[in-house]
A and B are shown apart, each in its own frame.
Chain A
Amino acid sequence: MTKTIFIDARYTGEISLNEDITEFIKETKIKSIALFASVQFLNLKKVESQLVELGIKVNITKAKRAAEKIQILGCDVYGNSFKDKIIEKSDLILYIGDGEFHAKALLISQIYSGNVKDVIVYNPVSGKMKVMGIQDVEVIINKLRSNLRKFVNSSKVGIIVSTKPGQSYLELAEKLKKQLEKQGKKIFVFVDDNINLSCLEDFNFIEVWVNSACPRIGFDDLTSTNSVVVNVKEAFEPLVYLEKLEKLKV
């Protein structure tokens, strides 16, 4: 395989919390925060000391697939994506970055835990903050619940395998195929590079699709396709995940 080098393109400005966000944090009277950031914004010594000055305990962890502590990836959408359960231990979550994609991952990562804590999203470039909560993923949760039910009752299933090395799980797909065949389902395995959900509609005999590539496909993209899609993780034990969703406080 071709050698690959990463240039993480760090933000060159100073990262600190402005008055809007420090006042907001004071008003919430919280005692602890789980701190996350995207890779461009990991120089957070100033932010950490500001939070400590506010009397906030700062909890940090390392996402298992990330290279550095505090860093969150877009694919960190399950509770066990992180080495420590700092979200459960913290009153609120603070995400530092210039978009909402990673903040949304932090919300999705909580949907099987019974309770989704808010995420304060702070953009140090614009100085703007916003609070994201369960309302920002509710439409995903509803579609996911419906898709899991359809999957349980389906008879013809397509499993999607990506050729991207970092997202390729062919052996896992074959393991799932065997498990589902034992349950009486007919399984087809599909291979593609960039997964384009509009391609699924051509195979109109498939009732439900299982995505083994980027897990965001099985969350964010559910609302933009007519095809029924679930992620491979849920496909191994759909009833367990359905039960967890039923317990979620909405």
Chain B
Amino acid sequence: MYNLDLDRVVGEIRKNKAKKVLIQLPDGLKPRAETIVDYVEKHTKSRVFLWLGSCYGGCDIPNTGLLKFDLIIQFGHNKFVKEEL
């Protein structure tokens, strides 16, 4: 019903040569996590991790500096333009 665009996901991982990838999903797509991880692990050599917490929008990117991920893939939203208040 919703296009997860998994071929694009794999393409981005390859293009960025990402070895450690963090997947972030809004609540409605969290039940699809298994499908996404299985597909990515089958088609790339990257190690895939899942963000457990919130995913309210493009403004809500996890602050994961210490864990040194190469790529974060957030589903369900698009680019967020931060407003200067």
Contacts and interface: CB of A to CB of B under 8 A. Distances in A.
Partners in one complex: yes
Interface string A219-246: 0000000000000110000000000000
A73 B63 contact: no
A166 B61 contact: yes
Contacts of A6: 58, 73-75, 77-79
Contact of B57 (A13, A64, A75): A75
B74 A166 contact: no
Nearest to A6: B78
B71 A166 contact: no
Interface secondary structure of A, over-half rule: loop
Interface residues of B, number: 39
Contacts, number: 117
Given A12-B3, A40-B2, A7 B73 contact: yes
Contacts of A163: 63
A74 B57 contact: yes
A9 B2 contact: yes
B38 interface: no
Interface of A: 1-13, 39-40, 64-68, 71, 73-75, 98, 125, 163-167, 169, 172, 193-194, 212, 214, 232-233
20 contacts: A1-B65, A2-B22, A2-B71, A2-B72, A6-B58, A7-B5, A7-B74, A8-B78, A9-B4, A39-B78, A64-B83, A65-B80, A165-B63, A166-B57, A166-B58, A169-B85, A193-B63, A214-B56, A214-B60, A232-B85
